[in-house]
A = this chain, B = another copy of it.
Amino acid sequence: MNQSSFSRRTLLKTAGGILVTGGLAHASNLMPRDIDLQKNSKDLIFRSTEPRNGEPELAKLVQSWQTPTELFYVRSHAPNPTINPKEFRLKVEGLVRQPISLSLDELRRLPEKTTTATLTCAGNRRSEYNGPEYEDVPKVGGVQWEGGTIGNATWAGTLLANVLKQAEVTEGAKHVWFEGLDRIPKNGQTIGFGGSIPIEKAMHDAGNGAPLLTHTMNGAALTPDHGYPLRMVVPGYIGARSVKWLGKIVVSDRPSPNHYVATAYKIVKKTTPLDWSESGPIYRFPINAAICTPKPHTQLAAGEVELTGYALPSGRSGSSIKDVLISADEGRTWTRGEMTGKTQDFCWQLWKAKVKINPTTKTLVLRASDSAGGFMPARVPWNAKGYLRNSWYRLPIDAG
The interface of chain A, by Cβ under 8 A from chain B, is: 134, 136-137, 174-175, 198-201, 253-254, 269, 272-274, 277-281, 283-284, 316, 372-375, 377-379, 381-382
Contacts and interface: CB of A to CB of B under 8 A. Distances in A.
A184 B392 CA distance: 44
B374 A377 contact: no
Given A200-B277, A253-B254, 14 more contacts: A136-B373, A175-B277, A198-B274, A198-B277, A200-B272, A201-B277, A254-B254, A269-B316, A269-B372, A278-B283, A279-B280, A280-B280, A375-B379, A377-B377
Contacts of A377: 377-379
A373 B381 contact: yes
Interface centre among A136, A137, A175, A373 (most CB of B within 10 A): A373
Nearest to A272: B200
A278 B382 contact: no
- Tell me how many chains of this kind the complex includes: 2
Nearest to A374: B381
B200 A373 contact: no
A199 B272 CA distance: 13
A200 B274 contact: yes
Contacts of A174: 277
A269 B373 contact: yes
A278 B269 contact: no
A137 B374 CA distance: 12
A11 to B, nearest CB: 42
A326 to B, nearest CB: 18
B381 A378 contact: no
Contacts of A198: 274, 277-278
9 contacts: A134-B373, A174-B277, A200-B272, A201-B274, A201-B278, A254-B254, A278-B284, A280-B281, A375-B381
A373 B382 contact: yes
A239 to B, nearest CB: 16
A377 B279 CA distance: 20
A99 to B, nearest CB: 23
A199 B382 CA distance: 25
Nearest to A378: B378
Q: Which 4 residue pairs are nearest across A and B when measured between Cβ atoms? A: A280-B280, A198-B277, A200-B274, A278-B283
Given A254-B254, A277-B174, A373 B137 contact: yes
A181 B22 CA distance: 61
Nearest to A381: B373
A176 to B, nearest CB: 11
A253 B252 CA distance: 13
A141 B199 CA distance: 28
Contacts of A278: 198, 201, 283-284
Contacts of A269: 316, 372-373
Contacts of A379: 375, 377
B200 A273 contact: yes
A379 B391 CA distance: 12
A91 to B, nearest CB: 24
A366 to B, nearest CB: 16
A277 B277 CA distance: 16
Contacts of A201: 274, 277-278
A274 B284 CA distance: 11
Contacts of A316: 269
A246 B316 CA distance: 39
A199 B277 contact: yes
A300 to B, nearest CB: 27
Interface centre among A254, A273, A277, A279 (most CB of B within 10 A): A277
A196 B13 CA distance: 53
A316 B279 CA distance: 14
Interface centre among A137, A253, A278, A372 (most CB of B within 10 A): A278
